[in-house]
Chains A and B, each alone.
Chain A
Amino acid sequence: MELFKNTNIDFLGKKWIFIGASLVLTAIGLASWIAKGSLKYGLDFTGGVNVPVRFTGPPPVEKIRASVSAKIPGEISVQEVTGENSVIIGTPLKKDEEQEQDRRRITEALTATFGESSGKLDFNNTNEQALADRIRDPLIQASAGLNDDQLHTLTKAMMEYRNTPPRSGVIKSLDELSAVSGVTPAVLKVLKEQGYASPFAIRGAEMIGPKIGRELRDKAILATLYALGGMLIYLAFRFEFIYGLAAVIAVFHDVIITLGLFSLFDKAIDLNVVAALLTLVGYSMNDTIVVFDRIREKLKFSRREPLEIVVNKSINETLSRTVLTSGLTFITAVALFLFGGSVLHGFAFCLVVGIIVGTYSSIFVASPILVFWHNFLDARKRSAGPGSAASAPRETVKKK
């Protein structure tokens, strides 16, 4: 079975349609960018504190916000994570010395609003060691004493039960623990005396101060610039400068449209997204290189055919391969987007969008630029003097 046997689509003839489409997409993206003031940046670049918290039911966003605002000045963001009953509480950037306290205060605020102040241990917000320390003596007093090994095994089992889905870190009531092996009614009684299950669980924390935030921003920009520059040099070396330039322009176009779509769909850009972008830069080069390789191969044999026809043929011949490989990588990116979880969400979105745009640009943007440039140079040569006919062997293409 073959998808594209002997196609003969006049890609270059239709190039204005594609260039038009590119311009429209870029315009939409830029419009969104300008309308919203700036791109939405993730914690890596904004700095501040992010604390993911999971609840036993749909999280009460307003109550959370009020609770945290009471302890921390500044704008508190409470973002819901779809499908997970959890939120990400964010506090704004402060000076390095003050930043660290925000994280503690969030915990205090949540405990004050949603937890109990009875002095009991919050099962959903403790770790193995603390739990073991808490119940060791009471168990002995209740004649259910365990030695250290047994206690360790028991607490480990309870924690694992709590951490696996569908609970994923938060249990609704201590009674659920009877499902864990080793939790006898006596143990359960001690647990209920010593602890309780609050409706929330703080699953982690991320704090980035201004100094580190600045560093990460700088690194991201530098990495992107260097990568683009590196690509240009590599392609100029393997092919010719004009090829490198065409490819870099195409990639640049990809990045702009991708970022525009990020703005349009309100997705946050963090370091992972930048990593995805850079990977796309490299990957998009792939398609471009495959087409250029084919163009170069054909030009070796047919120096008299107009460039447009050669390029068209090359694209048609590599179409099957381009669509298939991009399609396969696209599928893996979609799998990541659908199942990869919230941490990689921006990363996966970038890949999904970027692969489509990248493939499109290799076919419809990089090659036309090549042709444009060549025709431009040719026209200059022709006007420079007689004797250099259009049918003369092309000089812009060196044999390699």
Chain B
Amino acid sequence: MQKNLRWKLILIVATILICVYGIIDFPKSKDELIANWNKNIRLGLDLKGGSMLVLQVKLQDAFKAEADTAIERLKEQLAKEGIAVANIDRNDPQSLQEADQIQINVKGVPVDKTAQFRQVINEGYQNWILTPVGSSDYRLNIKTSEALAIKKDTVTRAMTTIENRINGLGLAESSVQQRGGAGAEAEILVSLPGLDDPARVKSILQTAALLELYEVKGGPYPRQEDALAQSGGVLPPNTKFLRSQRTQDGNQAWYLVTRTPVVTGRDLRDARPAQDEYGKWETAFVLSQDAKGRFGRFTEANIGNRLAIVLDNQVRSAPTIQARIEDQGRITGASSQQDASDLSLVLRAGSLPAGITYLQESTVGPSLGADSIRAGLTSGLVGLLVVVGIMLFYYKGSGINATLALVLNAIILIGVLAYFKAVLTLPGIAGIILLIGMAVDSNVLIFERIREELRGGKSIPAAIDTGFGKAFLTIIDTHVATIVSCAFLFMFGTPAVRGFAVTLVFGLIANVFTSVFVSRFLFDWHVARNPTQATLSI
């Protein structure tokens, strides 16, 4: 064999081996082969089954919280300085776009205290821009740089919390990513392979999980009005109303509690599901070191009073304080072990800084995924058999050449997909099937040219040479055209469409290699083996 041919053969065999290794490693048994295959060929959600969620973090919540904190601080400070204003409140942005139009309105600042007021603002509220509205009113708008910082911080915290919660569920291969891009800074993509009912996940994600413990001043009252009647129709100073959870028969009660909680979720160190003496499930939580002291003092001073355990602004229970408690508590009312377990997971993972909305959801059950795989394989097989049949019939011996190139093309394509950890989706399988036709295209191009040259009277080696030479440029042209349109598909497509684009591009590139290099090699090898043969089976 000529030296040239030998190197080419080595190159081709090496390529095959590398690709095969990438797909199935070096298996020692059939089971291992299947296991390696499953590990290296990553199937998309539409084939494997699973769920995908796109969430949007309600940034407007974070802005509202920020404004609320500022308002509380401002009220305290102004009271301390003796500046009596008529009213401080804020607007109520409802959507994401309106979020950074958050505005605090201060009405009725006494004219003689204007300078003092301005000084308070300048010293303590540098994130806000003060604008006078009339002679005694002002508005505070958040600075753009601060707004951006809040947005970024909220999304990051939300993502971390969501990640913690998802990881806590122990789902293999789940992923949480920020979607990013213009108009999508607050969007998070959650991918849950193998999970075909996201209802539980969604409820876990939805819980803000804000735990607070309040001192109970009065209650439970069946209605708010009853409570107010007790204190002369007006809310006692430094208190607020909280609703309780709905009981089985749909009843709700109201409690009057102090305005600020004694202990919040931030002081939580751990939470676990536990059973009480009757076997009912509840969630036991443990407070952190610095909260212990505070909580201990509070419980000691309030023996005989009630403590409201509040989750997401709903009173879960209001037990009476029997003795000094340092660091422990229980949240009762879990309906099952899973319920208690989910709640402790959510408490441990931390509270969400803002609410979330679901923008998109996609679930593929296992039977649907299996159907898709089967459909893909069937159509692939049919297409392959017919195409190979035609090539063999129309080009006879050279048809074998084309078939070998096709097989090699498939091996290289799957190998590359495995190495790049690319995901195979249903459109991806469709792309492979299309490739069968497109790959043979190049062979046809070359064979037709060779036939033409042979007709024109050239010798076999010369015809092969010219055939490949002339066809090469056209092959490149046609492949580039399709690859370019795939590039656009990749830029603008959904994950499934991207799978299609990637598969097609890799396949076409592999095709240039197989149809030009490998096919040529096979022809040359055939000619080298039979230098005196007068005909070429084409």
On A, residues with C-beta under 8 Å from B are 1-3, 44, 52, 54, 96-97, 99-100, 103-104, 127, 159, 162-165, 168-170, 201-209, 211-212, 215-216, 219-220, 222-223, 226-227, 230-231, 234, 238, 271-272, 274-275, 278-279, 281-283, 285-286, 289-290, 293, 317, 320-321, 324-325, 328-333, 335-336, 338-341, 343-344, 347-348, 351
* Complex interface residues of chain B between 347 and 375 (CB less than 8 A to chain A): 357-368, 370-372, 374-375
Nearest opposing residue in chain A for B441, CB measure: A325
CA distance A52 to B363 in the complex (A): 10
Contact (Cβ within 8 A) A223 B379: no
**Chain A residue at smallest Cβ distance from B501:** A275
Interface centre among B184, B366, B387 (most CB of A within 10 A): B366
Contacts of A278 in B (CB 8 A): 485-486, 488-489
Provide the main secondary structure of the chain B interface: helix
A289 touches B477 (CB 8 A): yes
The one of A127, A281, A333, A344 in contact with B437, judged by C-beta atoms closer than 8 angstroms, is A333
CA distance A3 to B451 in the complex (A): 12
A223 contact from B364, B393, B430, B491, Cβ within 8 A: B491
Q: Knowing A271-B497, A341-B376 touch, does A207 contact B386 (C-beta < 8 A)?
A: no
CB-defined contacts of B393 to chain A, threshold 8 Å: 1
A324-B444, A332-B433, A339-B382 as given contacts; A203 in contact with B367, CB under 8 Å = yes
By beta carbon, the residue of chain B nearest A4 is B448
Which residues does chain A contribute within 8 Å of B196, judged by CB atoms?
Answer: 127, 204
Task: Report Cα–Cα, A348/B374, bound state, in Å.
Answer: 16
Binary CB contact string for chain B from 407 to 442 against chain A (1 if under 8 A, 0 otherwise)? 000000000000000000011001001101110110
Choice from B426, B437, B500 contacting A328 with Cβ under 8 Å: B437
Question: Which among A96, A231, A317, A332 is the interface contact of B434 at CB below 8 angstroms?
Answer: A332
**Contact: B372 with A285, CB < 8 Å?**
no
The answer for the CA separation of A289 and B481 in the assembled complex, in Å, is 9
> What distance in Å separates the Cβ of B523 from its nearest Cβ neighbour in chain A?
18
What total of chain B residues lie within 8 Å of the partner, measured CB to CB? 75
- Residue from B358, B368, B380, B474 within 8 A of A289 (CB atoms): B474
Q: Is B54 among interface residues, defined by CB-CB distance under 8 A? A: yes
Contact pattern, B 43-61, Cβ under 8 Å of A = 1, otherwise 0: 0001000000010100000
B481 neighbours in A (Cβ, 8 Å): 231, 234, 282-283, 285-286, 289
Q: How far, in whole Å, are A333 and B383 apart by their CA atoms in the complex?
A: 8
Q: Which residues of A contact B54 (CB under 8 A)?
A: 212
Enumerate chain B residues within 8 angstroms of A100, measured Cβ to Cβ: 202, 357-358, 361
Q: For the complex, what is the distance from the CA of A205 to the CA of B365, rounded to whole Å?
A: 8
Closest Cβ of chain A to B143, distance in Å, is 27
User: Are B474 and A293 interface neighbours, CB within 8 A?
Assistant: yes
Q: Interface residues of A: mostly helix, strand, loop or mixed?
A: helix
Known: A204-B365, A335-B380. 5 other contacts (CB 8 A): A97-B357, A212-B54, A219-B493, A227-B485, A332-B434
CA distance A329 to B202 in the complex (A): 44
Q: Say yes or no for B517: interface residue by CB 8 A criterion.
A: no
**Do B360 and A282 touch across chains, with their CB atoms under 8 A apart?**
no
List residues 490-531 of chain B with CB under 8 A from any CB of chain A. 491-494, 496-497, 500-501, 504
Q: Assess whether A328 is in contact with B441, with CB atoms less than 8 Å apart.
A: yes
Q: Contact between B197 and A127 (Cβ–Cβ < 8 Å)? A: yes
B445 at the interface (CB under 8 A from A): yes
In contact, B444 and A321 (Cβ under 8 angstroms): yes
Residues from chain B with a CB closer than 8 A to the CB of A215 are 183-184
Given contact pairs A216-B494, A283-B482, A339-B375, A164 touches B370 in the complex (Cβ within 8 A) = yes
> Among A207, A274, A279, which residue has the most Cβ atoms of chain B within 10 A?
A279
Q: How far is the CA of A335 from the CA of B435 in the complex (A)?
A: 13
B301 within 8 Å of A (CB atoms):
no
Q: A209, B370: Cβ atoms under 8 Å?
A: no
Distance to closest chain A CB from B487 (angstroms): 8
A101 smallest CB distance to B (angstroms): 10
Query: Given contacts A212-B360, A281-B485, are A204 and B426 in contact (CB under 8 A)?
Result: no
